[in-house]
Structure 1
Amino acid sequence: MDKQNTVKHHSFDPLLSTPEAAAYLGVTEGTISVWRCTRRYPIPYIKIGRLVKYRKSALDAFLAQRTVGVSTIHEGGLS
Protein backbone atom coordinates (compact mmCIF):
# COMPACT_ATOMS: atom_id res chain seq x y z
CA MET A 1 0.00 0.00 0.00
CA ASP A 2 1.52 3.34 -0.97
CA LYS A 3 1.50 6.51 1.13
CA GLN A 4 -1.46 8.07 -0.72
CA ASN A 5 -3.62 4.97 -0.20
CA THR A 6 -2.61 4.82 3.47
CA VAL A 7 -3.78 8.39 4.00
CA LYS A 8 -7.08 7.65 2.24
CA HIS A 9 -7.52 4.41 4.21
CA HIS A 10 -7.19 6.14 7.59
CA SER A 11 -9.04 9.35 6.71
CA PHE A 12 -12.44 7.83 7.59
CA ASP A 13 -11.16 6.15 10.78
CA PRO A 14 -11.56 8.75 13.55
CA LEU A 15 -8.88 9.29 16.17
CA LEU A 16 -10.21 9.33 19.73
CA SER A 17 -8.58 10.97 22.74
CA THR A 18 -8.00 8.96 25.92
CA PRO A 19 -11.24 10.24 27.53
CA GLU A 20 -13.20 9.48 24.34
CA ALA A 21 -11.64 6.01 23.99
CA ALA A 22 -12.33 5.24 27.64
CA ALA A 23 -15.96 6.29 27.27
CA TYR A 24 -16.29 4.22 24.09
CA LEU A 25 -14.98 1.13 25.94
CA GLY A 26 -16.99 1.87 29.08
CA VAL A 27 -13.96 2.17 31.37
CA THR A 28 -12.37 5.08 33.20
CA GLU A 29 -9.53 7.19 31.78
CA GLY A 30 -7.31 5.79 34.53
CA THR A 31 -8.07 2.23 33.49
CA ILE A 32 -7.20 2.72 29.84
CA SER A 33 -4.06 4.64 30.83
CA VAL A 34 -2.95 1.79 33.11
CA TRP A 35 -3.64 -0.74 30.35
CA ARG A 36 -1.47 1.32 27.99
CA CYS A 37 1.40 1.86 30.44
CA THR A 38 1.52 -1.72 31.74
CA ARG A 39 0.71 -3.21 28.31
CA ARG A 40 -1.97 -5.32 29.95
CA TYR A 41 -3.96 -5.23 26.72
CA PRO A 42 -2.26 -4.58 23.37
CA ILE A 43 -4.53 -1.77 22.18
CA PRO A 44 -2.61 0.12 19.48
CA TYR A 45 -2.31 3.86 20.04
CA ILE A 46 -0.72 6.84 18.37
CA LYS A 47 1.59 9.29 20.14
CA ILE A 48 1.50 12.84 18.81
CA GLY A 49 3.87 14.75 21.06
CA ARG A 50 2.38 14.24 24.52
CA LEU A 51 -1.05 13.39 23.12
CA VAL A 52 -2.29 9.81 22.92
CA LYS A 53 -4.89 8.92 20.29
CA TYR A 54 -6.69 5.68 19.52
CA ARG A 55 -8.13 4.70 16.15
CA LYS A 56 -11.78 3.72 16.48
CA SER A 57 -11.05 0.63 14.38
CA ALA A 58 -8.38 -0.46 16.91
CA LEU A 59 -10.91 -0.16 19.74
CA ASP A 60 -13.48 -2.12 17.71
CA ALA A 61 -10.87 -4.84 17.05
CA PHE A 62 -10.06 -4.97 20.78
CA LEU A 63 -13.74 -5.41 21.61
CA ALA A 64 -14.11 -8.10 18.95
CA GLN A 65 -11.13 -10.01 20.39
CA ARG A 66 -12.61 -9.81 23.89
CA THR A 67 -16.10 -10.90 22.82
CA VAL A 68 -17.16 -14.26 24.17
CA GLY A 69 -19.24 -16.16 21.65
CA VAL A 70 -22.40 -18.17 22.06
CA SER A 71 -20.36 -21.37 21.80
CA THR A 72 -19.20 -20.88 25.42
CA ILE A 73 -22.76 -21.09 26.76
CA HIS A 74 -23.96 -24.62 27.41
CA GLU A 75 -27.21 -26.03 28.68
CA GLY A 76 -27.52 -25.46 32.37
CA GLY A 77 -25.24 -22.43 32.60
CA LEU A 78 -22.01 -20.89 31.50
CA SER A 79 -18.82 -22.86 31.08
Structure 2
Amino acid sequence: MTTTAQDSTRRATEKTAPKNIAVSTPVFGLMTSNQVAAALALSNKTLAAWRSSGRSPLPFLRLGSRVRYRSEDVLAWLESRMCSAATDAARGSL
Protein backbone atom coordinates (compact mmCIF):
# COMPACT_ATOMS: atom_id res chain seq x y z
CA MET A 1 0.00 0.00 0.00
CA THR A 2 1.37 3.44 -0.92
CA THR A 3 0.98 6.68 0.92
CA THR A 4 -0.61 9.80 -0.50
CA ALA A 5 2.80 11.51 -0.78
CA GLN A 6 4.19 8.59 -2.79
CA ASP A 7 1.14 8.62 -5.06
CA SER A 8 1.43 12.34 -5.77
CA THR A 9 5.19 12.01 -6.43
CA ARG A 10 4.57 9.11 -8.83
CA ARG A 11 1.85 11.04 -10.69
CA ALA A 12 4.06 14.13 -10.99
CA THR A 13 6.91 12.00 -12.35
CA GLU A 14 4.60 10.36 -14.90
CA LYS A 15 3.42 13.75 -16.15
CA THR A 16 6.91 15.21 -16.55
CA ALA A 17 8.79 12.12 -17.71
CA PRO A 18 9.23 12.09 -21.49
CA LYS A 19 7.62 9.28 -23.40
CA ASN A 20 9.96 6.80 -25.03
CA ILE A 21 10.56 8.12 -28.53
CA ALA A 22 12.49 6.09 -31.06
CA VAL A 23 15.75 7.72 -32.05
CA SER A 24 14.78 7.73 -35.72
CA THR A 25 11.41 9.43 -35.10
CA PRO A 26 11.60 13.07 -36.18
CA VAL A 27 10.65 15.53 -33.46
CA PHE A 28 8.00 18.01 -34.66
CA GLY A 29 8.33 16.44 -38.10
CA LEU A 30 11.90 17.79 -38.48
CA MET A 31 14.62 15.56 -39.86
CA THR A 32 18.37 16.00 -39.80
CA SER A 33 20.48 15.82 -42.93
CA ASN A 34 21.70 12.40 -41.80
CA GLN A 35 18.13 11.11 -41.50
CA VAL A 36 17.13 12.47 -44.93
CA ALA A 37 20.30 11.16 -46.55
CA ALA A 38 19.69 7.70 -45.08
CA ALA A 39 16.02 7.72 -46.10
CA LEU A 40 16.89 8.72 -49.68
CA ALA A 41 19.99 6.49 -49.88
CA LEU A 42 22.17 9.53 -50.56
CA SER A 43 25.28 10.87 -48.93
CA ASN A 44 25.27 13.90 -46.68
CA LYS A 45 27.66 15.54 -49.16
CA THR A 46 25.08 15.19 -51.92
CA LEU A 47 22.43 16.96 -49.84
CA ALA A 48 24.91 19.71 -48.99
CA ALA A 49 25.78 20.14 -52.67
CA TRP A 50 22.08 20.33 -53.57
CA ARG A 51 21.52 22.98 -50.90
CA SER A 52 24.46 25.14 -51.94
CA SER A 53 23.88 24.90 -55.68
CA GLY A 54 20.08 25.06 -55.62
CA ARG A 55 20.13 22.01 -57.90
CA SER A 56 17.25 20.34 -56.12
CA PRO A 57 14.02 21.99 -55.02
CA LEU A 58 14.03 19.97 -51.78
CA PRO A 59 13.09 22.62 -49.18
CA PHE A 60 15.08 22.89 -45.97
CA LEU A 61 15.22 25.02 -42.85
CA ARG A 62 18.33 26.69 -41.54
CA LEU A 63 18.19 26.99 -37.75
CA GLY A 64 21.35 28.83 -36.87
CA SER A 65 24.11 26.61 -38.20
CA ARG A 66 21.86 23.54 -38.28
CA VAL A 67 19.92 22.31 -41.28
CA ARG A 68 16.60 20.53 -40.88
CA TYR A 69 14.05 19.15 -43.31
CA ARG A 70 10.31 18.91 -42.65
CA SER A 71 9.21 15.33 -43.15
CA GLU A 72 6.14 16.41 -45.14
CA ASP A 73 8.38 18.42 -47.51
CA VAL A 74 10.59 15.38 -48.10
CA LEU A 75 7.53 13.24 -48.84
CA ALA A 76 6.07 15.89 -51.17
CA TRP A 77 9.41 16.17 -52.96
CA LEU A 78 9.50 12.40 -53.41
CA GLU A 79 5.94 12.43 -54.79
CA SER A 80 6.90 15.16 -57.28
CA ARG A 81 9.73 12.94 -58.53
CA MET A 82 7.38 10.01 -59.29
CA CYS A 83 7.75 8.79 -62.86
CA SER A 84 5.70 6.45 -64.98
CA ALA A 85 6.84 4.39 -67.93
CA ALA A 86 5.38 7.02 -70.30
CA THR A 87 7.22 9.95 -68.71
CA ASP A 88 10.41 7.92 -68.55
CA ALA A 89 10.14 7.06 -72.26
CA ALA A 90 9.51 10.71 -73.12
CA ARG A 91 12.77 11.69 -71.43
CA GLY A 92 14.74 9.16 -73.42
CA SER A 93 17.14 6.55 -72.21
CA LEU A 94 20.18 7.38 -70.09
TM-score, normalised via structure 1 length: 0.70
Distance in 1 separating the partners of 2:52 and 2:86: 33
What's the counterpart of residue 76 of structure 2? 61
Q: Does the Cα contact within 8 Å between 1:25 and 1:59 map onto a contact in 2?
A: no
Q: Which one has the largest radius of gyration?
A: 2
CA distance in 1, matches of 2:77, 2:40: 9
Partner AA of 1:14 in structure 2:
G
1:48 correspondence with 2:59: no
Matches of 2:88 and 2:29, distance apart in 1: 35
Match of 1:7 in 2: none
CA distance in 2, matches of 1:39, 1:14: 23
Letter in 2 for 1:66: R
2:53 is equivalent to residue 38 of structure 1: yes
* Aligned partners of 1:13 and 1:57 also within 8 Å: no
- Note the aligned Cα RMSD (angstroms): 2.2
In structure 1, C-alpha distance between the alignment counterparts of 2:55 and 2:87, rounded to whole Å: 24
Percent identical residues: 29
Would you tell me which structure has more strand in proportion to its own residues?
A: 1
Distance 1:72 1:50, change over 3 A: same
Structure 1 gaps, min length 5: 1-11
Equivalents in 2 of 1:34, 1:73: separation in Å?
Answer: 25
Could you state the TM-score of these two structures normalised by the residue count of structure 2? 0.60
Structure 1, residues 10-49: CA drift from partner, whole Å, max 9, x if none?
Answer: xx85100111111111111001110111000111111110
